Amino acid sequence: MTTPEPTLGPADLGTLETIACELAREAGRLVVDERPAGLGVSATKSSRTDIVTIMDTRSEQLLRERLAERRPDDGVLGEEGDSTAGTSGITWVVDPIDGTVNYLYDIPQYAVSVAACVGDTTRPGAWRAVAGAVYHPVLDEMFHAREGAGAFLRTTTGVHALSVSSVSRLDEALLGTGFGYDAQKRARQGAVVARVLPEVRDIRRAGSAALDLCAVAAARLDVYYESGLNPWDLAAGELIVREAGGEVVGRGGGPASADLVVAGPAVLVAPIRALVD
Ligand code: IPD
């Protein structure tokens, strides 16, 4: 049974956003500062290339410990551990390293994603993030938002309000996407991307869905789509795109889910959906 949605005022949302930022920053610093010299793969998941490193595990442990201390009544759903139910109606959806393959190869494009969500996080479309943060620890960039208050990027130079791209033509749009770990799915994703490529300015596959969504919010990408995302890849980034004025939809224009995520200004989401949905 789902706990009823809690009533959250601006102060509650502000507290959740602050906690998301603090935890994402602490875990992000851990994965950069304590990255072992000979980092290897400690386990695999859905396929031989869907990997876990020791630092994914340590980062998630840290996030879970901090949440247990600061938010003992909330639930937690993380990429590397079991889901724990809470009693408050809030579930933290966390990705301890989004872009794990980049992290393994020491490509500096990975992030920690932390989101406070309401609803049933086990059912696609039945939940939403109300506050969240995505932290890029190598660049020290913190993307964050809370529902109804806009999206922001905090860097070493200050805080910048985010707004999605104003590009309206698909043939001028820089598009981000990503691919799953399963070979058969990748073959289907390859066929879809071949349809999209001639229609857009160019394509980027940067390797972290959470950062791709933040790039859409910051107009560093005009539009993004991917299939196969998990709630932890999506939760904070989806909120950040919406709060930056963008649209995030899934199959048939319904809620974003593992089937499909398309994110960007509405004027670009529609034609991308027509190509990929
Ligand atoms: C992956 C990344 C990647 C996306 C995959 C995700 P992980 O997450 O976000 O960009 O294309 O679909 O699974 O495994 O690095 O946490």
Which domains does the chain carry? 10-161 (3.30.540.10), 170-276 (3.40.190.80)
How much distance in Å is there from the Cα of 154 to the middle of ligand 1? 23
Instruction: Note the residue count of the chain.
Output: 277
Distance separating alpha carbons of residues 217 and 201, to the nearest angstrom: 18
Q: What are the binding residues?
A: 79, 95, 97-98, 233
Q: Which residues are annotated as a binding site for Mg(2+)?
A: 79, 95, 97-98, 233
Nearest to 235 by CA among 116, 68, 96: 116
Confidence of residue 46 (pLDDT cuts 50, 70, 90): confident
pLDDT digits (tens, 9 = 90+) for 77-119: 998 888 889 999 999 999 999 999 999 999 999 999 999 999 9
Q: Give me Rg for the CA atoms of the chain.
A: 18
Asked whether the beta carbons of 165 and 264 are under 8 A apart, the reply is: yes
Distance 9 CA to ligand 1 centre (A): 33
Q: Residue 2: is its pLDDT beyond 70?
A: no
Cα four-point dihedral sign 64, 66, 69, 73: negative
**Residue of 48, 59, 98, 224 to mutate, ligand 1, most atoms within 8 A of C-beta:** 98
Q: Which amino acid is at 229?
A: L
What is the distance between the alpha carbons of residues 49 and 197, in angstroms, rounded to a whole number?
25
Q: What is the pTM of this model?
A: 0.97
Cα 229 to ligand 1 centre (Å):
7
Atom of ligand 1 at shortest range from CA of 178: 11
Cα–Cα distance for residue pair 205/199, rounded to 1 Å: 16
